[in-house]
Chains A and B, each alone.
Chain A
Amino acid sequence: MGITVEGLTRSYGSLTAVSDLSLSVAPGEIVGLLGPNGAGKTTTLRVLAGILKPTSGRVTVGGFDLAAQAIEAKKRLAFMPDEPHLFEYLTVEEHLRLVARLYGVPDFEVRAKALLTELELRGKEGALPGELSRGMRQKVVIACGLVRQPSVLLFDEPLTGLDPIGIRRMRDTIVRRGQAGAAILVSSHLLDLVGEVCTRIIIMDRGRKLADGSVAELAARVGGGSAGSTLEQIFLSVTGRTTGHLIE
């Protein structure tokens, strides 16, 4: 099940942000989506989340076509954007309750309690978003995504705004959800995170997929079999950037 994308293209007027992209993320797999700024990562995630309609192509989430069976697909999906969008007039607990109602979460109280503890939000249940730091609000968004135990998780820069402990916990959370069978797609510029938690890497540039494979497979392809290529070297090589070029 997981996610399958076939021939996805998304254009904004004359600009093609994503071009003929095909990929899949199987249950239990954690896939890292890498690419320079403007590569089309966020557009891809927004199409997968049902926010944008694809110009062409087909997306299925948990086996359901995102266009034809949008409700069923969205029930199985959680999208955690890089910028935490919350309702300024709802408390943390009310956000979770609202999500539970919309997604039909049966044992909301138990799950919410566990999640609030896991994300260090205990004691903040009655706080409005305006009273929280950015990192805290990011955690609320993540809690809203996880409270319904989705089978497909999309993370766009999940560590933005988190403190070192939060980053460590988030890494653990992502890995644990993957081990529990969720299909996870993580977009991030933090190569350490991607290298540590992801089982497979997809590298995009200018809307196109340039590489797809495990770190070892990509290193073998880039380095001609030489061992020890780091993810950074792989990234720079695949996208055609060199360290010297970047310094310039």
Chain B
Amino acid sequence: MLSATLYVIGCSAKNRVSRRLARLREPRYVVSAVVGAAYLYFSFIGRMHFSEGARLGRTLLPALIPTFAGAPSVGGLALLVGALLTLAVPMPSGLLTFSRTDREFLFPSPMSRRQLLFYRQLRSQMGVVIAPVVIALTYPLATPGARVRAFVSVWLVLTICQIFFTGIALSRASLAAPSTRARVIAWLPSLVVAASAIAVVLGVVQAVFTQTLEVDSARAMLRLLVDTCQRGWPRIALWPFTAIAAPLFAQTMPAFILTLAGAIAVYLLILGWVLSADEAFDAVIDTTADAPDRPGRGRVSYKPRHMQWTLALEGRQETPFVWKTLTQVLRAVNRRLLIRVAAVGVWLTVVLVMVAGRARGVTQIAGLFAAFAALFVVFFGPQMVRLDLRQDLQHLELLKTWPVRAGTTIRGQILGPTVVVTTVAWALGAVALVLGTAALPGMTMALRVAGGVALMILAPALTLAQFTVHNAAVLFFPAWITTGSARPRGVDAIGQRMIMLGATWLVLIVAVLPGAMVGGGVWWGFQRVIGPWSLIPAALAGALVMLCEVIVATEALGSVYEGLDLTSVERSQV
């Protein structure tokens, strides 16, 4: 079975490479491949040769993470927190998600469940290997030996995390299994992780009460935590996690080999546990296989939540598109998405606090964060929220049979996501306005309010303009746009994205220019009379101009939409 698995992987890789090479005969792919290669070179490999750090020729990780005696313990603690989160938040495992082709070809074949798992893990290696390769190549302070060590240790950490994640998904299905053996196997990781966490917490509590030194800062607290994890029961309890992280921090090859042995031992233990938990494999896979088109990797799973807005049977033809988009958003929001948004929010807050070092309180941080997030949503939301033709191009045949004018269809497609992005931006803007006094103490009240209201007026117009540009790109260059859940890969695909991104921003700047000029003129005319409040009529004028542009552009795009035939478009998914 190993040979069959390797055959599938080998054939897929060979065909993928030959397809990518074959399409380089077309000039557009050559251009995008050159751009993509240049981007990769200057982003990653170029740094190795030109950076100051490369000349220093030091080891990889000292600059990445400050190495000290307790560094593996810090890494182990981070992995422990990750394991706790994995236990607390149920998520599907990528290794247990089989494609339809996998299900139809492999499930009826005489492959055991363990072999299927092994097959998925081997196939997933292409994705797992990318991050270690990038880290090993890009890190500026590395010697060749350190790069090799970094590659192996990062790859091992990711592989162990992946297999552990799969084990948790499998064991979750067996927590209440009738078989005692299955239950024991299912509960084992939870107990180990919980015991480790309890040991560390008790150790820290004990250390805090017996500590003679005062713990008065975050640094002191971290030091106490690390010291605790290096002694007694916490050290033993944390060992599996520390052992996995230890190769990352090895400074010499002998030390690396020694620590690698420990990490591999833990990996084998986890692998043994996962393979012994394979009784649950059928239960987990069965639920996946039953659904005719179960969302695979990268696809959204929709929950049948009740939509409060019932679509009226009469009215403007753009409205059904808006209704459709809002329904989609309502049903797409799930725990995973909320966690991602929360993670981005936390990250942005941390960055903001670090950048705005003068932050003096929660209100100020929240106000600044809301203002920053509102601007981020307006300027980057349309790039990320692809609930328009970028997604609906997969339904193009259906859309084209509808008795709706092409211009109306395009407007409907962009209005839906505009409502979503604008609503979020307005909500954040309202928070920023309310907390404005604390967030921007240097501004007058009039300037804050007028500026805030002006930005809220401009938000939908700016968003609409961006969505128009993105959808125009879809219609003019459908092969270069990621549609639906498909994601083109390869150097030329990276180049395509770079070119499209640059062109999109360029067109957007040109599109916004007339509105900005008109708005600027209105502001100049009014500001002597009504001061900062002139921002509001200026924003209104600018928004009006942009709206007119959007209407003209969508009408003009109608003929392109009508002539679009996806069957003649060669995509670059492979």
For residue A13, which residues in chain B have a CB less than 8 angstroms away from its CB?
Answer: 568
Instruction: Specify which of B320, B328, B562 is in contact with A101 (CB 8 Å cutoff).
Output: B320
| CB atoms of A101 and B403 under 8 A apart | no
Stretch at the interface among B5-13, B174-182, B393-401, B458-466: B393-401
Q: Are A127 and B292 in contact (CB under 8 A)?
A: no
Of B122-130, B306-314, B511-519, the one contacting chain A is B306-314
Do A50 and B302 touch across chains, with their CB atoms under 8 A apart? Answer: no
In the bound complex, how far is the Cα of B319 from the Cα of A87, in angstroms?
Answer: 16
Q: How far is the CA of A165 from the CA of B529 in the complex (A)?
A: 78
Q: Which of A94, A106, A130 contacts B292 (CB 8 A)?
A: A130
Contact string, B302-327, partner A, CB cutoff 8 A, digits 1/0?
10100100111111010110011001
Q: Judge if B402 is at the interface, Cβ distance under 8 Å.
A: yes
Indicate whether A128 sits within 8 Å of B304 (C-beta atoms), given known contacts A53-B565, A104-B314: yes
Tell me whether A50 and B400 are in contact in the complex, defined as CB-CB below 8 angstroms, given that A13-B568, A102-B320 are known contacts. yes
- List A52-106 residues whose CB lies under 8 Å from chain B: 52-53, 70-72, 74-75, 77, 79, 81, 85, 87-91, 94, 97-98, 100-106
**Closest beta carbon of chain A to B509's beta carbon, Å:** 34
Binary CB contact string for chain A from 129 to 141 against chain B (1 if under 8 A, 0 otherwise): 1111110010000
Instruction: Check if B317 sits within 8 Å of A90, measured CB to CB.
Output: no
Contact status A105-B313, CB under 8 Å: yes
List, in ascending order, chain B residues with CB within 8 A of A74's CB: 401-403
A94 touches B395 (CB 8 A): no
Q: Which of B301, B313, B324, B405 contacts A90 (CB 8 A)?
A: B324
Instruction: Flag whether B108 is at the interface (Cβ < 8 A).
Output: no
CA distance A71 to B404 in the complex (A): 6
B401 touches A79 (CB 8 A): yes
A101 to B404, CA, bound (A): 11
Residues of B within 8 A of A90 (CB): 324, 327
A130 to B320, CA, bound (A): 21
* A85-B395, A103-B403, A132-B292 given; A127·B304 CB < 8 A: yes
Interface size on A, residues (CB 8 A): 43
Q: Within A177-231, which residues are at the interface with B (CB < 8 Å)?
A: none
- Kindly list chain A residues whose C-beta atoms are within 8 Å of the C-beta of B212: none
Q: Is the CB of A98 within 8 A of B324?
A: yes
Contact, CB under 8 Å: B302 / A130: yes
Residue B571 interfacial (CB < 8 Å): no
> Is the beta-carbon distance between B295 and A130 smaller than 8 angstroms?
yes
A97 to B313, CA, bound (A): 7
Of the candidates A87, A100, A103, A134, which one forms a contact with B324 in the assembled complex, judged by CB atoms under 8 Å apart? A87
CB contacts (< 8 Å) of A129 on chain B: these are 293
Question: A49 an interface residue at 8 Å Cβ cutoff?
Answer: yes
Q: Are B395 and A126 in contact (CB under 8 A)?
A: no
Is A102's CB under 8 angstroms from B327's CB? no
Assuming the A-B contacts A46-B397, A108-B313, are A89 and B403 also in contact, with contact meaning beta carbons closer than 8 angstroms in the complex? no
- Min CB distance B188 to A, Å, is 34
What is the distance, in angstroms, from B132's C-beta to the closest C-beta of chain A? 35
- Chain A contacts for B565, CB-based, 8 A: 52-53
Q: Is the CB of B311 within 8 A of A128?
A: no
A102-B304 contact in complex given A75-B403, A90-B324, C-beta closer than 8 Å: no
> Is B563 a contact of A53 with CB atoms below 8 Å?
yes
- The docked-state distance in angstroms from the alpha carbon of A52 to that of B313 is 28
The listed residue (A12, A100, A101, A137) touching B568 by CB distance below 8 A is A12
B313 lies within 8 A of A51 (CB): no
Q: Is B431 an interface residue (CB 8 A)?
A: no
Measured between beta carbons, the chain A residues less than 8 angstroms from B398 are 85
- Chain A residues positioned under 8 Å from B403 (CB to CB): 70-72, 74-75, 102-103
A50 to B398: give the CA distance in the assembly, Å: 10
Smallest Cβ-Cβ distance to B331: which chain A residue: A89
Chain A, 111-143, CB within 8 A of any chain B CB:
126-134, 137
Contact A50 B292 (CB under 8 A): no
CB B293 to nearest CB in A, in angstroms, measures 6
With an 8 A cutoff between CB atoms, is B332 at the interface? yes
- Measured between C-beta atoms, what is the minimum distance from A140 to chain B in Å? 12
A42 to B96, CA, bound (A): 37
- B311 / chain A contacts, CB cutoff of 8 Å: 94, 97-98, 101
Is B294 an interface residue when CB atoms closer than 8 A count as contact? yes
A98 with B293: in contact, given A128-B304, A130-B302 (CB under 8 Å)? no
Min CB distance B292 to A, Å, is 6
Q: Say yes or no: is B3 at the interface (Cβ < 8 Å to chain A).
A: no
B22 on the A face (CB < 8 A) = no
CB <8 Å contact, A88 and B397: no
Query: Using a CB-CB cutoff of 8 Å, which residues 270-301 of chain B contact chain A?
Result: 291-295, 300-301
Give Cα A94–Cα B565 distance, bound, in whole angstroms.
27
Q: Return the chain A residue nearest B294 by Cβ.
A: A130
Q: Judge whether B567 is part of the interface by a CB distance below 8 angstroms.
A: yes
Given contacts A126-B304, A128-B304, contact A89 B327 (CB under 8 A): yes
Within 8 A of A (CB), among B365-401: 394-398, 400-401
**Chain A residues closer than 8 Å to B401, beta-carbon distance:** 49-51, 74, 77, 79
Given A12-B568, A90-B327, A132-B292, A53-B562 contact (CB < 8 Å): yes
Complex Cα–Cα for A26 and B303 (A)? 44
CB pair A71–B405 under 8 Å, yes or no, is: yes
Which 8 residue pairs of A and B lie closest in terms of their CB atoms, listed nearest first? A74-B403, A89-B328, A75-B403, A89-B302, A89-B331, A71-B403, A51-B400, A51-B397
Beyond A77-B401, A130-B295, A131-B304, 18 additional contacts (C-beta under 8 Å) are A49-B397, A50-B401, A52-B565, A53-B562, A70-B403, A71-B405, A90-B327, A94-B311, A98-B311, A101-B315, A103-B402, A103-B403, A104-B314, A108-B313, A127-B304, A130-B293, A130-B302, A133-B292
Binding site for B on A (CB under 8 A): 12-13, 46, 49-53, 70-72, 74-75, 77, 79, 81, 85, 87-91, 94, 97-98, 100-106, 108, 126-134, 137
- A selection of 29 A-B contacts at a CB cut-off of 8 Å is A13-B568, A49-B401, A50-B400, A51-B397, A51-B400, A52-B565, A71-B403, A74-B401, A75-B403, A85-B397, A85-B398, A87-B324, A87-B395, A88-B293, A88-B302, A89-B327, A90-B327, A94-B311, A97-B310, A97-B311, A102-B320, A102-B402, A103-B403, A104-B314, A128-B331, A130-B293, A130-B294, A130-B295, A132-B292
